[in-house]
Copies of this chain bind each other. A is one copy, B any other.
């Protein structure tokens, strides 16, 4: 099944089941994270789907669906860098022994079709990524336990302000900007998702990034197990698995998003993010 979080007319959000016809069935939870926190969430979804068939449950037409960030209140959003083996090797580097991890907060997340507003950076770059949604609590879990705790997969773009990212050795200040990490449009449950995914990024329709997650150095279960050695992962937490080659910073000359650009992030079998960027001038004196 495919689950989304939709904005509602009252200014709140609701979890929703995507139907094959492009419409959504509202679910009794404020967002996908709140849904996953219910141990019997699959039964909750099935019951709502049955009620929709008998017209007792609200159905939202495709054209009326306003996609919120998939997990607007994710407790943890943990990202892995330097994880595509083919890209690392083409750069002439050794494969890493350990995953490079950094954290951001749920405030960074925006919906699949939201505008992204950036004030104070002139080097806004893209990082198309597969993201893993945690379904069960994990602490000091092995890889099999971690694999079994994957609720599903979604699409994310770890948009990075390279000027700020490169001010110091720690990337956080270039990665944790409010409302700059698109995520969605849906989570495809692990049982319906394939094993490997083609990940692609486009700027104004031009393909700039592509990779396949079969070349990940650390796969989703390995990442979740590794992270859980030191911190608890819970339902609705999000782990971003890293980006393939093709980021703007690596181009000659480097290329960054301009005001008005459309960034598209796509994973076959999951869906597509399409976000317009509003890059506000002038850049403050301290940037």
Stretch at the interface among A8-16, A37-45, A93-101, A249-257: A93-101
Chain A at the B interface: SS class: loop
Q: Which B residues lie within 8 Å of A161 (CB)?
A: 230
Task: Find out whether the CB atom of A107 lies under 8 angstroms from the CB atom of B232.
Answer: yes
Contact of A120 among B81, B104, B230, B284 (CB under 8 A): B230
Size of chain A's interface in residues, with CB distance under 8 A?
41
In this assembly, does A139 line the interface, its C-beta being within 8 Å of a C-beta of chain B?
yes
In this assembly, does A231 line the interface, its C-beta being within 8 Å of a C-beta of chain B?
yes
Task: Find out whether the CB atom of A231 lies under 8 angstroms from the CB atom of B170.
Answer: no
Contact of A172 among B75, B96, B101, B120 (CB under 8 A): B101
In this assembly, does A17 line the interface, its C-beta being within 8 Å of a C-beta of chain B?
no
Question: Interface digits, A129-165 against B, CB 8 Å rule (1 contact, 0 not)?
Answer: 0000000000110000000000000000000010010
Task: Find out whether the CB atom of A81 lies under 8 angstroms from the CB atom of B170.
Answer: yes
Q: Which B residues lie within 8 Å of A97 (CB)?
A: 167
- Most chain-B Cβ atoms within 10 A of its Cβ — which of A170, A232, A284, A287? A170
Question: Interface digits, A95-124 against B, CB 8 Å rule (1 contact, 0 not)?
Answer: 011111111110110000000000110000
CB closest residue in chain B, given A103:
B103
Task: Find out whether the CB atom of A230 lies under 8 angstroms from the CB atom of B177.
Answer: yes
CB closest residue in chain B, given A228:
B178
Q: Which B residues lie within 8 Å of A287 (CB)?
A: 229
Task: Find out whether the CB atom of B76 lies under 8 angstroms from the CB atom of A120.
Answer: no
- Most chain-B Cβ atoms within 10 A of its Cβ — which of A96, A103, A104, A164? A103
What are 19 A-B contacts defined by CB distance under 8 Å?
A: A75-B105, A96-B168, A98-B167, A100-B169, A101-B168, A101-B172, A101-B173, A102-B103, A102-B170, A103-B105, A103-B172, A161-B230, A169-B169, A173-B227, A173-B230, A176-B230, A176-B231, A177-B230, A229-B286
Q: Give A residues with C-beta under 8 Å from B.
A: 75-76, 78, 81, 96-105, 107-108, 119-120, 139-140, 161, 164, 167-173, 176-178, 226-227, 229-232, 284, 286-287
